[in-house]
């Protein structure tokens, strides 16, 4: 059964039209104004995205008309449908964080400091905890490098009306990696020749499985009574430059008449 949090969330966003809050929409920028971007939706409808989300510190916009975007539906207000690439800043109120948690929408947070077992992250007026194991694409030898940075997270737990929030930065990388893999699978087929680059080289100990499992050549003395050892296979092994029977066990033993 839905929790009280989920019921409250569903009620607050009822009657918003054909998009569900948090729904992923792949769209295109159709026009740009001073404070927002207009996105192409189904039919003649357009969505709105806050321009500040895609503007850097110098005020430079990172997209242009015609660019493709992956956005999340936020809400409908005064007949306008609002979208976001992430939840951050003043938009990160309690209601929006509940939405981000339930619909797995990315949130932007400032990594303020290290704390026991991880980091304290500020998201709007709330503070969250990100464990060391959930920060970065992989474990860092310098955990302090993330302090002071604005990063994207996904909320893993939201409890006590926002007094206990657990977030993960690593899941952002994992999902992006999975998307790239799925896209790559669509381009590959059996027998296809592809090019690649070596990312790393790792050394490993030589396998001892073959050496441990190979039998040794039996000797006449150890073969037991009633057995004789024939050596042709050993001689042929030497002629063909294969390891000799003394090291490979390439002899045959047969019962004497």
Question: Which of 141, 174, 207 represents a domain boundary (last residue)?
Answer: 174
How far apart are the C-alpha atoms of 110 and 113, rounded to whole Å? 9
pLDDT tens figures, 187-201: 888 888 888 888 888
Lowest mean pLDDT of 40-54, 128-142, 164-178, 216-230, name the range: 216-230
Q: How many domains does the chain have?
A: 2
Tell me if 62 is assigned to some domain.
yes
How far apart are the C-alpha atoms of 174 and 196, rounded to whole Å? 21
Is a pLDDT exceeding 50 seen at residue 237?
no
How far apart are the C-alpha atoms of 201 and 109, rounded to whole Å? 36
- pTM assigned to the model: 0.57
| Percent of the residues in the chain that have a pLDDT greater than 90, as a whole number | 35
Tell me if 72 is assigned to some domain.
yes
Residue 99, pLDDT score: 81
Q: How far are the Cα atoms of 96, 126, 208 from residue 91, in angstroms, in the given order?
A: 7, 12, 60
How far apart are the C-alpha atoms of 152 and 72, rounded to whole Å? 14
62 with 110, same domain? Answer: no
Lowest mean pLDDT of 91-105, 138-152, 161-175, name the range: 91-105
253 CB neighbour count, 10 Å cutoff: 13
Give the CATH number for residue 116.
Answer: 2.40.50.140
Is a pLDDT exceeding 60 seen at residue 223?
no
Most confident region among 6-10, 61-65, 127-131 by mean pLDDT = 127-131
Tell me if 256 is assigned to some domain.
no
Tell me if 24 is assigned to some domain.
yes
Asked if 30 and 39 count as a contact pair (C-beta separation under 8 A), the reply is yes
74 with 111, same domain? Answer: no
Domain of residue 46, residue span: 4-85
The tokens describing 219, both together, are: 């000797």
Tell me if 13 is assigned to some domain.
yes
Residue 28, pLDDT score: 93
* Residue 224 pLDDT grade (very low, low, confident, very high; cuts 50, 70, 90): low
Question: 5: closest CA among 208, 157, 188?
Answer: 157
The tokens describing 205, both together, are: 């100990």
129 with 74, same domain? Answer: no
Average pLDDT, the chain: 78
């Amino acid at each position: 059964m839905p929790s009280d949090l989920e019921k409250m969330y569903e009620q607050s966003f009822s009657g918003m039209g054909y998009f569900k809050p948090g729904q992923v929409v792949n769209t295109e920028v159709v026009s740009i104004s001073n404070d927002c971007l207009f996105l192409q939706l189904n039919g003649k409808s357009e969505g709105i995205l806050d321009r500040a989300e895609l503007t850097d510190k110098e005020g430079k916009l990172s997209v242009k008309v015609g660019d493709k975007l992956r956005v999340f539906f936020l809400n409908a207000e005064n007949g306008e449908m609002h979208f976001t690439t992430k939840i951050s800043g003043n938009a990160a109120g309690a209601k929006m964080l509940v939405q981000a948690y339930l619909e797995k929408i990315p949130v932007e947070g400032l990594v303020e400091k290290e704390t026991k077992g991880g980091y304290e992250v500020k998201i709007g007026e709330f503070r969250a905890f990100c464990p060391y194991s959930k920060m970065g694409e992989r474990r860092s030898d310098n955990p302090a490098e993330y302090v002071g940075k604005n990063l994207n997270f996904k909320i893993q737990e939201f409890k006590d009306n926002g007094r206990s929030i657990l977030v993960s930065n690593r899941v952002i990388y994992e999902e992006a990696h999975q998307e790239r893999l799925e896209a790559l699978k669509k381009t590959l087929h059996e027998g296809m020749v592809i090019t690649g680059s070596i990312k790393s080289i790792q050394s490993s100990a030589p396998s001892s499985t073959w050496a441990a499992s190979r039998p040794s050549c039996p000797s006449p003395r150890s073969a037991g009574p009633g057995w004789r050892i024939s050596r042709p296979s050993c001689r042929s092994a030497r002629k063909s430059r294969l390891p000799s029977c003394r090291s490979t066990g390439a002899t045959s033993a047969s019962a004497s008449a």
